[in-house]
Amino acid sequence: MNDILDRLASTMESRKSADPQDSYVAKLYHQGVDGILKKIGEEAAETIIAAKNGDAGQVVYEMADLWFHCLVLLAQQGLGPSQVLAELARREGLSGLVEKAARGVDN
C-alpha cells in the first residue's frame, strides 16, 4: 500500500512545475493553500454524506478523493505520506485517550 502513496507523492511533486492549464494538481497548487483546503472540505463533506447514506462503495470513492486532496496539501506544505505514516506508527498501540491526554486535548 505504501507503494501507491509513494507514487502519488512523487506525482504531486512533479506537478509543482506543471502548467495549471494542463494539470489538475498544478491548478490546485496555483490556487494556494486556501484553494486546496476548500477542496479538502468539500471532499470531507461528500465522504460524510456517503457514510450517512450507508453506501459503502460511495464511501470508498469519496474517501479516495479526500485522501488524494490531502496528499496535494501535504506536498504543497513540503511534506509527504511517509511523515503521516510515521506518526500513525508512533501512535500505534497507544490508547487514544492516553495520547490525547498527553497532548492536553479534551476531545
The pLDDT tens digits for 47-60 are 999 999 999 999 99
Three-class SS state of 32:
helix
Task: Examine the pLDDT at 89 and tell me if it is beyond 70.
Answer: yes
75 near 9, Cβ under 8 Å?
Answer: yes
pLDDT tens for each residue of 61-73 = 999 999 999 999 9
Cell (9 digits) for 64? 479516495
Grid-cell match 501512535, residue found: 91
* Mean of pLDDT values over 7-24: 95
Say if residues 67 and 59 touch (Cβ distance below 8 Å): no
pLDDT above 70 covers a percentage of the chain that reads: 92
What's the CA gap between 44 and 55, in Å, rounded?
A: 15
* Average of per-residue pLDDT values in the chain: 92
Taken in order of first residue, the domains within the chain and their CATH numbers are 2-79 (1.10.287.1080)
